[in-house]
Amino acid sequence: MTAPRDVVVHPDAEVLAAATAARLLTALVDAQCHRSPVHLVLTGGTVGIKVLEHVAQSPVRAAVDWSGVHVWWGDERFLPDGHADRNETQARAALLDALGDELPAAHLHPMAPPSEATPTPEASAAAYAAELAAFATPEGSGSSVPAFDVLLLGMGPDGHVASLFPGHPALTVADASTVGVHGSPKPPPERVSLTFEAIRRAREVWVVAAGAEKAAAVASALASAPVEVTPAAGALGTTRTLWLLDVAATGALDLPESAPPA
């Protein structure tokens, strides 16, 4: 089951990141009223990392019981551990290191970098699928992943989300929660990604995008273009799909005008 998309527009990328951080903290606090643990999926990318920096700086960060949060990634660049371009490395620098012992190390679920045990993106993807399956909820539902509470996604100017690129075979993987990616048009070429099957298990999917270069892809996704053309169109949550944009990214959208002041 999926819900219609909501669109929220902020004046610029900085406000977008700050408002998304505030929204994320509140969503985690709210989710913790209902269940424990809660599952959060991070994204890489410019705005996604900026959001985490704002979370780190917010005093509201203390309202979250981080010991009850599990952190996952929607995709990863298949690069050595600690590489500056890994989404994990950037998330650690932006937020996770600052949380220290508040967030138990066992609750962090990065995608495995190249190693003897995981020499290929496929091996890393398989290891991640096994880890996801160990936390699959609700029990007995047949799901192979947790029912993520919030799954954050950035979006590239080509409409890619996670590491699911237009026209790429990874888009159509239907029988697995993760996929190894080769030949990504955006460097690095080798990546690991959640599939749409896994993404669509999230309660809330939030697509966060800023900048005029994303406007055409935003308009295409919100017009429900085929996922082969605009992958972001396939990013849907079970209870909510939220598009968080700055004004520049709405350039090609036909948005209702704000009501004039009374």
- What residues make contact with ligand LXAUTJHC under the rule CB under 6 A? 43-48, 75, 77, 87, 153-156, 162-163, 186
Pick the closer one to ligand LXAUTJHC by CB: 156 or 237: 156
Pick the closer one to ligand LXAUTJHC by CB: 119 or 185: 185
CA distances from 32 to 35, 84, 196, 237 (A): 5, 32, 26, 19
Name the minimum Å distance from CB 181 to ligand LXAUTJHC: 10
Give all strands of the β-sheet with 178-181 in edge-to-edge order: 75-77, 191-194, 178-181
Name the minimum Å distance from CB 199 to ligand LXAUTJHC: 12
Q: Annotate 60-88 with b (16+ C-beta within 10 A) or e (fewer).
A: ebeebebebbbbbbbbbbbbeeeeeebbb
Q: Strand 150-154 to strand 204-209: parallel, antiparallel, or no bridges (unpaired)?
A: parallel
Are residues 90 and 49 in contact, defined by beta-carbon separation less than 8 angstroms? yes
Name the minimum Å distance from CB 214 to ligand LXAUTJHC: 7
Pick the closer one to ligand LXAUTJHC by CB: 121 or 156: 156
Name the minimum Å distance from CB 48 to ligand LXAUTJHC: 6
Are residues 118 and 124 in contact, defined by beta-carbon separation less than 8 angstroms? yes
Pick the closer one to ligand LXAUTJHC by CB: 43 or 118: 43
Name the minimum Å distance from CB 28 to ligand LXAUTJHC: 20
Task: Pick the closest to residue 181 from 197, 167, 165 (CA basis).
Answer: 165
Task: Pick the closest to residue 124 from 76, 82, 86 (CA basis).
Answer: 76
Name the minimum Å distance from CB 162 to ligand LXAUTJHC: 6
Pick the closer one to ligand LXAUTJHC by CB: 151 or 155: 155
Pick the closer one to ligand LXAUTJHC by CB: 163 or 230: 163
